[in-house]
């Protein structure tokens, strides 16, 4: 019987037939990760398993060309503005992840789509290197700063693998000896001989001019706004709020209510004092006030006269009157129509008004029920 020595950790990659002794693979092998495997095979006798022997087996994984060649390192290629046609600006080499057998060659050529319109060409030196050469005299940074050159690289293994690598070529300013002076982005904008300091000075001048223009425009707008104002104290945009309710009881010039307090006073048609009249009105003749005129009738009469008077100027006034007349249970307590002597007055009706007027009924009742000498 045959079996693999389980002390090794490669048993998962290979297996062996116990009867025939045939070794087979369990998994795909990758030569780029592990190129050689080393393990032991043990053989034992069927009739006597204690009789065994061991042999070492070495398996080398053969290479398959599965990776295309590529440019070995990323190059920073540049060309001078004053370059001549046929000048070599860069030498490139290739690398392959596959283990190249002895004698393998790499070939370099320009991509077919860029062969007719390219400003550069690829010269294969046939020693696994190639040179990038110019195809015309002179390059302008103002016209174009960057050029992209597609380079095709092939290997000589089977099957043949190839790849297209794009190289970036930057146009730079150089001296007469070909030494690079500047490859910055400012080469697109600056003429020959203009330094970075000069560029900063130009930018500062532009900023100062812009500030001057902004200030000039602001002053012109301010001046135009001042001419529209008739005065600095123009109050067209101001809102003034008045909340005047008069002088109250101390304002004796606004309205005279003496006539309301005493209806018998003959009223003179005076000119209103709260407003300035345009013309004076002549006093109208009013009927005399009777002695027994009720105050409510007097107020209503005056109200009707002013409502129908077209010459009365319109104005707002507020008058509050407290009146207890015919609607009150006690009728009017005014002394206008009172009897002059207390002897003729009968106060017996006070007892009919209820408990609120009990004290008054006792004070002004009959003398036999209440002694008037005790009243203070």
Q: Are 94 and 71 spatial neighbours (Cβ–Cβ below 8 Å)?
A: yes
Q: According to the model, what pLDDT value does residue 237 have?
A: 59
Q: Are 131 and 93 spatial neighbours (Cβ–Cβ below 8 Å)?
A: no
331's torsion region: left (phi>0), alpha (psi -120 to 50) or beta? left
95 versus 302: which is more confidently predicted?
A: 95
Q: According to the model, what pLDDT value does residue 66 have?
A: 85
Q: Are 121 and 92 spatial neighbours (Cβ–Cβ below 8 Å)?
A: no
Angle at 36 between CA 33 and CA 38, to 5 degrees: 130
Per-residue pLDDT at 61 exceeds 50 = yes
Per-residue pLDDT at 269 exceeds 70 = no
Q: According to the model, what pLDDT value does residue 376 have?
A: 46
Tell me the pLDDT band of 235, cut-offs 50, 70 and 90.
low
Each residue's pLDDT tens digit, 89-143 = 999 999 888 866 566 789 999 998 887 777 899 999 999 999 999 998 989 888 8
Per-residue pLDDT at 372 exceeds 50 = no
Residues sharing a CB contact under 8 Å with residue 250, sequence separation 6 or more, in sequence order: none
Each residue's pLDDT tens digit, 323-371 = 555 555 555 555 555 555 555 567 777 778 888 888 888 887 655 454 4
Q: According to the model, what pLDDT value does residue 216 have?
A: 92
Closest CA to 360 of 371, 347, 373: 347
- What mean pLDDT is predicted for residues 255-269? 54
Domains of the chain: 2-60 (no CATH), 70-182 (2.60.40.60)
246 versus 159: which is more confidently predicted?
A: 159
77-80 and 162-174: which strand pairing?
parallel
Per-residue pLDDT at 249 exceeds 70 = no
Q: According to the model, what pLDDT value does residue 248 have?
A: 60
Reported pTM: 0.42
Q: According to the model, what pLDDT value does residue 19 have?
A: 92
Q: According to the model, what pLDDT value does residue 34 have?
A: 86
% pLDDT > 70, the chain: 62
258 versus 176: which is more confidently predicted?
A: 176
């Amino acid at each position: 019987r045959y079996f693999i020595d389980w002390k090794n950790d490669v048993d998962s990659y290979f297996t062996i037939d116990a009867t025939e002794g045939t070794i087979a693979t369990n998994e795909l092998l990758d030569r780029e990760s592990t190129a050689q495997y080393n393990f032991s095979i043990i053989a034992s006798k069927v009739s006597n398993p204690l009789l065994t022997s061991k042999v070492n087996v070495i398996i080398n994984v053969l290479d398959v060309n599965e990776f295309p060649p590529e440019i070995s390192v990323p190059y920073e290629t540049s060309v001078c503005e004053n370059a001549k046609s046929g000048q070599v600006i860069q030498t490139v080499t290739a690398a392959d992840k596959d283990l190249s057998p002895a004698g393998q060659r790499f070939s370099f050529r320009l991509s077919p789509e860029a062969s007719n319109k390219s400003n550069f060409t690829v010269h294969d030196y046939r020693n696994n290197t190639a040179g990038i050469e110019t195809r015309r005299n002179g390059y302008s940074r103002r016209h174009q700063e960057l050029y992209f050159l597609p380079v095709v690289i092939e290997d000589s293994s089977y099957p043949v693998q190839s790849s297209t690598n794009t190289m970036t070529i930057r146009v730079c300013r150089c001296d007469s000896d070909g030494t690079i002076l500047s490859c910055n982005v400012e080469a697109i904008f600056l003429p020959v001989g203009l330094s970075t300091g000069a560029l900063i000075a130009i930018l500062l001048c532009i900023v100062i001019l812009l500030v001057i223009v902004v200030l000039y425009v602001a002053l012109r707008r301010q001046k135009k706004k001042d001419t529209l104002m008739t005065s600095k104290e123009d109050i067209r945009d101001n809102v003034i709020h008045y909340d005047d309710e008069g002088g109250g009881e101390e304002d004796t010039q606004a309205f005279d209510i003496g006539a309301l307090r005493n209806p018998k006073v003959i009223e003179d048609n005076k000119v209103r004092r709260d407003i300035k009249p345009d013309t004076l009105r002549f006093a109208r003749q009013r009927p005399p006030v009777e002695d027994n005129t009720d105050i409510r009738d007097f107020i209503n009469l005056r109200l009707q006269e002013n409502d129908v008077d077209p010459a009365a100027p319109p104005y707002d006034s507020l008058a509050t009157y407290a009146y207890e007349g015919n609607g009150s249970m006690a009728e009017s307590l005014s002394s206008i129509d009172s009897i002059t002597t207390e002897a003729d007055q009968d106060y017996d009706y006070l007892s009919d008004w209820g408990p609120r007027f009990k004290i008054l009924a006792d004070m002004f009742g009959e003398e036999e029920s209440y002694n008037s000498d005790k009243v203070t």
